[in-house]
Amino acid sequence: MGDQRVGLGIDFHRLDPSRPLILGGVTIPHDQGLLGHSDADVLTHAICDALLGAAGLGDIGVHFPDSDKQYRGASSLGLLSQVVAKLRESDLAPRNIDATLIAERPKLAPHFDAMRDKLSPVLGLDPDRVGLKATTSEGMGALGRGEGMGAMAVALIGRDSPDPCT
């Protein structure tokens, strides 16, 4: 099996009518987008945190602080690319991702293929190793009232080179 590690990432962002909605690097037609210092791509942020957590490298706020002007409006796919590069410095690479978006609307499933097409090359994974799902909060709580969106992700990572002992 070699050295394999699992990590968990969770993120939330508020919705705001002045912003575009960007999820998994894809701009999705909607009347609101997510508010944040970067492009506020909640899905990509959860994936970044899952990868960093698996590698024992802290979280996205440590590496890309929102006090740093260079990350203002930053593409979260670019941040993800930097996270994957940080893993590679330790000879670690993503093995697979599984993520769930939490949003009342719009329907997100029609956009999953486009999101996978954006995320998988950055992760260095085949698209079938990037699991994407969505759920609503059934109207309960802040997410259920449509005040924001959330995302949860798990990542499995492993050593880049195969272990000759296995």
What does the binding site for Mg ion look like in residue numbers (CB under 5 A)?
Answer: 11, 45
- Closest residue to Mg ion in the complex (CB): 45
Contacts of 15 (CB under 8 A, 6+ apart): 32, 33, 34, 35, 146, 147, 148, 149
Quote the least distance from Cβ 61 to Mg ion, whole Å. 8
Quote the least distance from Cβ 15 to Mg ion, whole Å. 13
| Residue (41 or 158) nearer to Mg ion, CB | 41
Output the CA torsion sign for 55, 112, 99, 140: positive
| Residue (63 or 95) nearer to Mg ion, CB | 63
| Residue (81 or 95) nearer to Mg ion, CB | 81
Of the candidates 118, 151, 152, which has an alpha carbon nearest to the alpha carbon of residue 13?
A: 151
Quote the least distance from Cβ 57 to Mg ion, whole Å. 16
Of the candidates 52, 51, 26, which has an alpha carbon nearest to the alpha carbon of residue 111?
A: 26
